[in-house]
């Protein structure tokens, strides 16, 4: 996806008047200390409470092919190779592989086992159209990962005329008892065993994901100092950033980005492709237009050296405190309680209870930007 400096300027100047929030997403894999931070500006509508949920009904089976590429991914030029849901599952699976099985290999170049698995999985990910011919459907889970780890007591078993017998006491085993086979290549003999006394020994490690959202409450964001640090990449459609000479703190956004630039190994601004909400076909066939299939989402991505993982984590953990110095609040504090919040409700809130004003308080806080922006036109009417 093409990106220009005007796109970067538009991203940096976007504040609460665009009804968006600054989202800070951090991913840390502790086994390898791989850490990254991504900045994006998402719509504030996702933070509204009390929205009416549509009834989940199974869609009727269409007699003809769907007239939307999103519903017929296997027959689409793009979605048979790229699907946001499958790509998310693939990324999560690869991260879990790295978090649990990351060991150094003996091959030249010191590659790790997760890099080999990632290469193998990426091939299988792009061959979904081939697997579909052998029964793979869209609702099938392509990537699975076991969550728990167990230990067993292993005992010798005997198979005699199709019957399963325990070797220690020659008593018959249950019909549903799983029997395992082991072949010894040195002696050429086959033995059988079964497992019992299951004990829980651990869970699979997961990458640490931290997500924070801030509503930029100022309309005077100054992007000039940040724009001077960006330069277009010579071969790729992205902008790279160089490190600033000093920490800048004119506003919270500038403070956050410059602090991350001083710590990071690489910073890139790029457009990530997202599927359009609707991708209608033309004459019952995919129109093969990339612009009809995808929309762009600007993101600012930071990657760090493993040595900086602890410092970055400490900075992200204290981000709420830094935001308060700029008079900003994190999404969990997106509340503006009404003036008529009486003493009974205040006591209930102090006891960590729900007073009934939470939904109204959250939505009223998000609506304040409309009330402030259109204050001269607002005279008791419902905010837009």
Same domain, 139 and 285: yes
The verdict on residue 61 lying in a domain is: no
Q: What is the pLDDT of residues 9-57, one digit of tens each?
A: 999 988 877 778 899 999 999 888 899 999 999 887 777 766 554 444 5
Same domain, 30 and 131: yes
- Please give the share of the chain, as a percent, with pLDDT higher than 70: 70
Q: What is the pLDDT of residues 205-216, one digit of tens each?
A: 888 999 999 888
Give the domain-ending residue among 203, 233, 248.
203
Distance CA 267, CA 239 (A): 8
The verdict on residue 277 lying in a domain is: yes
Structural domains of the chain, count? 3
Same domain, 137 and 153: no
Domain range for residue 341? 335-373
Q: Angle at which helices 84-101 and 113-126 pack, to 10 degrees?
A: 160
In Å, how far from its chain's centre is CA 345?
A: 37
Same domain, 185 and 264: no
The verdict on residue 56 lying in a domain is: no
Neighbours of 249 (CB within 10 A): 14
CB burial of 171-210 (b: ≥16 within 10 Å; e: otherwise) equals: eebeeeeeeeeeeeeeeeeeeeebbeeeeeeeeebebeee
The verdict on residue 136 lying in a domain is: yes
Strands (E), 276-370: 294-303
Distance CA 205, CA 182 (A): 30
Same domain, 277 and 307: yes
Q: What is the pLDDT of residues 315-324, one digit of tens each?
A: 999 999 998 8
347 membership: H or E segment, kind and range = helix 343-350
How many CA atoms lie within 13 Å of 127's alpha carbon, on the beta-carbon side?
9
Q: What is the pLDDT of residues 256-276, one digit of tens each?
A: 999 999 999 999 999 988 888
Distance CA 125, CA 13 (A): 37
Same domain, 101 and 240: yes
Q: What is the pLDDT of residues 87-116, one digit of tens each?
A: 777 777 778 877 876 655 444 445 556 656
Q: What is the mean pLDDT of residues 173-185?
A: 90
Same domain, 236 and 311: yes
Q: What pLDDT is attached to residue 124?
A: 57
Q: What pLDDT is attached to residue 218?
A: 61
Q: Which residue has the higher pLDDT, 9 or 126?
A: 9
Same domain, 219 and 280: yes
Q: What is the pLDDT of residues 45-89, one digit of tens each?
A: 777 766 554 444 555 555 456 678 777 776 777 776 666 776 777
- Please give the share of the chain, as a percent, with pLDDT higher than 90: 28
Q: What pLDDT is attached to residue 105?
A: 46
> Max Cα separation, the chain?
92
Q: What is the pLDDT of residues 146-172, one digit of tens each?
A: 677 788 899 999 998 888 999 999 999
Q: What pLDDT is attached to residue 303?
A: 95
Same domain, 251 and 325: yes
Q: Is the pLDDT of residue 376 over 50?
A: no
Same domain, 81 and 103: yes
Q: What pLDDT is attached to residue 32?
A: 84
Same domain, 169 and 226: no
The verdict on residue 168 lying in a domain is: yes
Give the domain-ending residue among 203, 238, 272.
203
Same domain, 210 and 199: no
The verdict on residue 298 lying in a domain is: yes
Which of 125-139, 220-234, 327-341 is least confident?
A: 125-139
Q: Which residue has the higher pLDDT, 195 or 371?
A: 195
The verdict on residue 79 lying in a domain is: yes
Q: Is the pLDDT of residue 380 over 60?
A: no
Q: Which residue has the higher pLDDT, 353 or 287?
A: 287
Q: Is the pLDDT of residue 234 over 70?
A: yes
The verdict on residue 58 lying in a domain is: no
Distance CA 280, CA 291 (A): 12
35 membership: H or E segment, kind and range = strand 34-43
Q: What pLDDT is attached to residue 382?
A: 42
């Amino acid at each position: 996806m093409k990106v220009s400096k005007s796109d970067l300027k538009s991203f940096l100047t976007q504040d609460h008047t665009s009804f968006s929030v600054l989202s800070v997403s951090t991913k840390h894999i502790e086994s390898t200390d791989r850490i990254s931070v991504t900045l994006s500006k998402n719509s504030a509508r996702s933070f509204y409470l009390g929205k009416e949920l549509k009834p989940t009904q199974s869609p009727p089976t269409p007699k003809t092919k769907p007239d939307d590429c999103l519903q017929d991914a296997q027959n689409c030029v793009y979605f048979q190779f790229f699907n946001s849901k499958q790509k998310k599952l693939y990324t999560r699976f690869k991260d879990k592989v790295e978090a649990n099985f990351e060991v150094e290999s003996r091959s030249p170049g010191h590659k790790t086992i997760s890099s080999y698995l990632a290469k193998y999985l990426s091939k299988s990910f792009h061959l979904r159209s081939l697997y579909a011919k052998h029964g793979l459907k869209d609702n099938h889970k392509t990537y699975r990962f076991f969550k728990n780890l167990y230990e067993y007591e292993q005992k010798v078993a005997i198979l005699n005329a199709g019957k399963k017998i325990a070797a220690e006491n020659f008593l018959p085993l249950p019909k549903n008892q799983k029997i395992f086979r082991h072949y010894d290549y040195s002696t050429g003999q086959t033995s059988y065993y079964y497992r019992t006394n299951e004990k829980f020994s651990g869970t699979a490690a997961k990458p640490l994901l931290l997500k924070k959202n801030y509503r930029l409450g100022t309309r005077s964001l100054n992007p000039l100092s940040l724009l001077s640090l960006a330069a277009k990449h010579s071969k790729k459609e992205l902008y790279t950033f160089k490190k600033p000479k000093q920490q800048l703190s004119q506003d919270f956004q500038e403070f956050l980005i410059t602090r991350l630039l001083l710590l990071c190994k690489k910073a890139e601004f790029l457009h990530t492709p997202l599927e359009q909400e609707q991708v209608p076909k033309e004459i019952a066939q995919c129109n093969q237009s990339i612009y009809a299939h995808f929309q762009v989402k600007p993101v600012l991505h930071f990657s760090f050296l493993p040595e900086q993982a602890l410092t970055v984590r400490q900075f992200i953990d204290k981000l709420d405190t830094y935001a308060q110095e700029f008079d900003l609040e994190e999404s969990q504090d997106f509340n503006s309680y009404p003036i008529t919040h009486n003493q009974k409700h205040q006591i209930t809130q102090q006891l960590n209870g729900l007073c009934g004003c939470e939904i109204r308080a959250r939505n009223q806080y998000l609506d304040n930007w409309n009330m402030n922006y259109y204050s001269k036109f607002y005279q008791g009417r419902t905010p837009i």
